[in-house]
Structure 1
Amino acid sequence: MKYKNHRHLKKHKNYEKVKWLLIFFIIIVTLLTNHFFKNCNLVVKYTMLTIITGINIIFFYSTKKGKKILLFIQESTNEFYKITWPTKQETFYTTLIILIVAIFISFILWLLDSIIFYFISYIIA
């Protein structure tokens, strides 16, 4: 039984490798045809490019990594909807507080700079 399961896993890994080779092959063929048929009608060229890209995306999402990425995107979307966004009033008051603190700290730094400048000029003169 263990031997049969190992054979199945090896076959599945080979199938994944074939999918990745097919994906890269389609990308290379797409780039080459785009280069060689640059004088072709743009509508036809972009339609074919869209179809080939769609096929490539389908192949990509059928791989293990593609399924993991798709699951990550779905979970990220769910988490995005769980976020509690601040209201306009909260955003305004937070910005106002930050602005006041920045002005206050800059005033303190200016005052310290002036005092240090005064002492240094007194010592030098």
Structure 2
Amino acid sequence: MSVEAPASRLDSLKWLVVVALLAAAVIGNSYFSNESLLYRVLAIVALAAVAGFVALQTAKGHAFWSLVKGSRTEIRKVVWPTRQETVQTTLIVVAFVLVVALILWGLDSFLGWLVSLVIG
């Protein structure tokens, strides 16, 4: 179903550029720590966007983007539960958790009592 783009000889160079851009963002954030937080965040977002764009130009990036588009299509096909079904399921889970908690509390109390009898 998925058609992979042929791997280019430049893919490893593109990934190197992605790593360099992300490293520049991290190092730049530390180096310019005295600057305004807003400017540093904008610079990091810009560098991350450029790195993402470069990454999408690789074969793996193209495959990832195809996966994202396919998953959006699949999400549209999901039949979501109604509010009543969600509430009922949540109440069943809460009730089950409470029952198991009581059972574990009782088992812990019993075992603690047993150990205290043995130890004295």
Question: Smaller-chain TM-score range?
Answer: 0.5 to 0.7
Larger Rg belongs to: 1
Cα distance change of structure 1 residues 88 and 42 upon mapping to structure 2, 3 Å threshold: closer
1:61 aligns with 2:63: no
Code of the residue aligned with 2:59 in structure 1: it is: K
Whether the aligned pair in 1 keeps the contact of 2:25 and 2:43 (CA below 8 Å) is no
TM superposition shift of 1:42: 1.6
Higher relative CO (CA 8 A, sep ≥ 6), structure 1 or 2?
2
Which residue matches 1:43? 38
Cα distance change of structure 1 residues 17 and 86 upon mapping to structure 2, 3 Å threshold: same
In structure 2, C-alpha distance between the alignment counterparts of 1:38 and 1:92, rounded to whole Å: 48
Q: What secondary structure sits across from 1:81 in the alignment?
A: helix
Which residue matches 1:20? 15
Over aligned residues, Cα RMSD in angstroms? 2.9
Cα distance change of structure 1 residues 89 and 46 upon mapping to structure 2, 3 Å threshold: closer
Cα distance change of structure 1 residues 88 and 41 upon mapping to structure 2, 3 Å threshold: closer
Which residue matches 1:72? 67
Bigger fraction of residues in helix = 1
Give percent identity, aligned residues only: 26
Which residue matches 1:121? none
**Count of aligned pairs:** 93
TM superposition shift of 1:62: 0.9
1:86 aligns with 2:81: yes
CA shift digits 1:82-103 (9 cap, x unpaired): 011222344456667x58xx6x
Gapped runs of 5+ residues in structure 2? 1-5, 101-120
Alignment TM-score, normalising by the size of structure 1:
0.61
TM superposition shift of 1:67: 1.0
Gapped runs of 5+ residues in structure 1? 1-8, 107-125
